[in-house]
Structure 1
Amino acid sequence: MRSVAEILRTKANAYIYSVGPDDTVLAAVQLMAEKGVGALVVMAGGRLVGIVSERDYARKVALLERSAFGAKVSEIMTAEVITVGPRNTTQECMQLMTDRHLRHLPVVAEGELIGLLSIGDLVKVTIADQASLIQQLEQYIRGE
């Protein structure tokens, strides 16, 4: 079982995109579209204060017919952010995401944001681990 630290080390794009709580929702959605990501961390004074996702936009702006031009990120972000640490395992993260219906988990170490995991990151690692295990078992069965 891999740790979050191992996953972050092998992640292709480890850059963490962020917005401020006073940025407009439109700016956040434009950044997500430009960078091809589904969520952004919300930072204020170097501190993680929230997370905003495409889901937040869809449910709290588009469906309520609010303006993305005037609404601020702080109005739609999730302020009570669930985080994991570098020692958490893939399985723990997947269980947390499943139980809490999350698609993104900020990774915090000693109070500092060090990464962001998506459900896609975890699925990719799980598939690779399972493929490796299958290969090892097949070699064992063949006596190699």
Structure 2
Amino acid sequence: MTERTVLQSIGQRHLLTVKPDASSYHAACAMTKAHCGSILIVDDGGAMLGILTERDLMTKIVAQRRDPEATPVSAIMTHNPHFIAPQTTVSDAVLIMKRHNFRHLPVVSSTSQLLGVFSIRDAMPRELAEAETMADQIDEEFTNVLS
């Protein structure tokens, strides 16, 4: 069985984006409405400039007592974020996330088209399936020992 790619994992979600001059408040409201932990910052042509995450909002707005309505996303976003290709496997994406302490990775095509964001939540079904398989194996071994 072939492992799923990040593009297969995220499917065809709506791409959540804002311009760099949008307020942090506006971005946080858009993220909340979409139940999304990140938002991509794009220029007028749709090219990715950065990413803003829940963690950025907590550490750079809330913890520093900055005014979210007066702080543009460009002031707190991660500029030129690490990104992955659509054919990246879920396992490889999780390794990258673990290595760099990321929770969100933009997915970008070879032609620089933004395709979505792979989040740590997208990896959860894979992790749950592995845990279920391991539990089944343990249960089977335990049953064999008792037989």
Q: TM-score, normalised by structure 2?
A: 0.82
Cα–Cα, structure 1 residues 123 and 54, in superposed 2: closer, same or farther, change >3 Å?
A: same
**AA at the equivalent of 1:98:** K
Alignment of 1:86-97 (within 5 A): 86-97=86-97
Give the Å deviation of 1:64: 1.1
* CA distance in structure 2 between the partners assigned to 1:132 and 1:94 by the alignment: 19
Taking the aligned partners of 2:132 and 2:13, their CA distance within structure 1 comes to 24
The yes-or-no answer on 1:33 pairing with 2:35 is: no
How does 1:1-144 map onto structure 2 within 5 Å?
A: 1-9=3-11, 14-44=13-43, 45-110=45-110, 111-128=112-129, 131=132
Contact 2:21/2:74, CA 8 A, preserved across alignment: yes
List gaps (5 residues or longer) in structure 2: none
The CA deviation string for residues 4-54 of structure 1, in whole angstroms up to 9 with x for no partner, is 232133xxx711111111000110011111111111011112101100011
| Number of positions where the alignment pairs a residue of Structure 1 with one of Structure 2 | 137
Determine if contact 1:7/1:125 at 8 Å carries over to the other structure: no
> How many angstroms apart in 2 are the aligned matches of 1:126 and 1:61?
32
Aligned to 2:118, the other structure's residue is in SS state: strand
Residue 69 of structure 1 deviates from its aligned partner by 1.1
Secondary structure, aligned partner of 1:52: strand
Q: Give the drift of 1:88.
A: 0.9
Q: Is the partner of 1:92 in helix, strand or coil?
A: helix
In 2, the alpha carbon distance for the partners of 1:8 and 1:132 equals 23
What is the root-mean-square deviation in Å for CA atoms of aligned residues? 2.2
Whole-Å Cα distance in 1 between the matches of residues 60 and 68 of structure 2?
A: 10
Query: Deviation at 1:86?
Result: 1.4
**CA offsets, 1:48-101, max 9 Å, x none?**
110001111111111111111110000000002111111111111001111111
> Do the aligned partners of 2:21 and 2:73 also contact (CA within 8 Å) in 1?
yes
Secondary structure, aligned partner of 1:105: strand
**Structure label with greater radius of gyration:** 2
